[in-house]
Structure 1
Amino acid sequence: MKRLRIPLLLGLLIAAVLILAGCTAGSAATSWVDQTIAWVSGLVSKSRGEPVANATVTLEESGERATTDAQGRFQIATQRRGSATLRAEANEHLTLRWPIAIDSSGAPDLNLRVVTMRDYNAALFDELTGAGSGGTWRWAAGTLSYYVDRTGAYRPEFDGALREGFADWSMLTQRTITFAEGNNTSPIQVSYVSSAPCGFANAAGCAGVTSVTANGEVRGAIIELHAGYATDVGLTVHEVGHVLSFTGHSSNAGDVMYFQMNGTSAASNAEAAVASVLYSNAPGTAMGDIRTPSAQMAQMTPSPAILPLPRAPQPAAVHQPATPAPSFGALESIGAMVRSWFASLQCLLPLPGACQSPAWSLP
């Protein structure tokens, strides 16, 4: 019997190690099912927050879904945890698929922004993209990496506004492009200064394309933000819009791509439609060849959450962007922008003054 003890103990030890290894492997999975119920909740809206009623929101991994109410709110009960994808569909709107993370508290306060081609304005498209004078510029579909220079005037509180600027435009292009932080060789370079971004004396920030191929595919861009305004979400949304590449400004004083800070923190519905159209057409597309993407034209059958619940809690308040800086006086002139085979920097001005856009030669 004594001779059998050592092999038996070794066998039990090996079994214990295997069980632990199995548990560890299971915990590394990106998604799993829990026995308790969690809520995925939020709002389906247009870019400026107008609610979209009767939209169908589906958790793609499980098929659980819900229909938005008159205020655009939805709630889905699920036992799923970890990484997941929500699909938002509404009549005459482009379908949005958005990644989320579900933990024991669920995934509350989501704001899924959808786009309709009813808001598309061809004149604004030409104004922002310059497609009428040489075709569109845009990045290839996929994930774009950006680098933040965390020296000089940089402060950690700037990160949130920058991430929100990237996330907003990614959502409005239906994730044709996404953004991820990279290293100092990333094609998008972000920096912070204490005064005169890109040499513009009265600017709050500047951004522009720095490299583009002959067929209109963007390969590089910069953002430089004034530290005094860098927590302003409207500023970062504006400058990331130039990175997309909106090479011009909107003449509508209420648009986020207006040349001056105006208290706006989100793209207008028309600007959102322009972004969707820009990224549904190939780089270098001439204005006369621009086509609008097809939208969802039929509603799915409304459905409650698949898991029955005794009581539905009220969803938490949907997150709203940070309060932007107050509006300032009008500018006399922003100067003409240079396109053709030159990339140009565009600046956003918080104060009265003139802003000239210097041209950068392309390689």
Structure 2
Amino acid sequence: MEDEAVRLTHGLAEATRTSPEDWYLVYKARYAMEVVFEALAASDPSVRSVVTQPFTCCTAVDPILVAGLVPVYGDIDADTVSLDPAVLPLGEGVGAVVLQHSFGIIDDASSRELVERAHGVGALVLEDSAHCATRMALTDQGRPVADVSVHSFGAEKMLRTSFGGAVWINPRGRRPQALSIARERLAALEPVCGGVARAARLYLNENRVLNRLPRKAAVFLRRSLVAARLLEPAVADKEMAGGLLHGPMAPDRWICAQVNNELKRAPQNMGSRREVVSAFIEAFGGSVPYPAAQGSDPVQPLLRFSVVAPSTETSREVIRRVRELGYLAEDWYRPSLYPGVVDPGAYGLPAVGTLPVCDRVTAGIVNLPTEVPIDAVAPMAEAVKQVLWTPSNM
């Protein structure tokens, strides 16, 4: 495994202008978060909570719970769909703040403000770059702003891989004792093996078959394969109930090789996504509402281009019309802690109305695919405008 793993850490370092010794590999990004939060709790008994957002996947909050900490939810900024630095709930006992770059949107100015506020109370910043793959928020001098940056190579992310993740630990990061513990534990992780490794290799072919079956047959077969541990679910039942399916593990040589192969085409991948994002911006102009940071200059290679409908009903109609064209519009992250959790109380989710911006964006979110031919943009944009355009949007 070592040759592929070393190659991968060096590739990540080259892509991010960082040092390879500060990168660590994991089977899934959520396990990197688990290790960091457990190290934080172990290093300081006074740490009780982590600030995050409910506009996310439940697997981004499960590591907080597994580490024995409490998630505290802040409202988001409608322009960035990330935590709003101006209203961060930085109470006593907060040890970390999660800076999530939703759909690949990175707003450097907002990120810097969040880091400054978090550091002001002694909290470290964990950057969730799961949707970015080798992209980070930067200072004016081009250095990463976060103390920890977590990247995912899993299913439905930027690269056409299904497993693997990586975490970068800032050598000058806050809470150095916690980061030292995390480094030691991450460096000692054993690679996946046995049934987990086998399921990773089968994943793509299994899903190709399942996606061609009638829905009822596919649902039954998928459940059967998961129960037999022959299929690794994107989000397991246990992960919708506050747990994680496995303990922290490193990727094996096969997974590292898949990621290395995809990193070769990452510049082309990101370039084509930028073209699609630019085309969406031009097609929409001011006619439909979308997070303003998506229109940043230079244009970013987004995982999804998002618009925000005025209601859930309208959002569903937009998704229906785009899907009728053959393109997979989605509703990430509706409901909160997508795809939903068994017991919202166990996650400490706030009541509706407590976080008004988050509630509004969650209700109306629509994600449009960006890994599509450029000529797909016009029909998708037209379908969206048929539902959302009003004179007031002009």
Q: Same fold by TM-score, threshold 0.5 exceeded? A: no
Normalized per residue, the structure richer in strand is 1
Interval containing the TM-score (normalised by the shorter chain): under 0.3
Q: Which structure's residues are more often helix, by fraction?
A: 2
Structure with higher Rg: it is 1
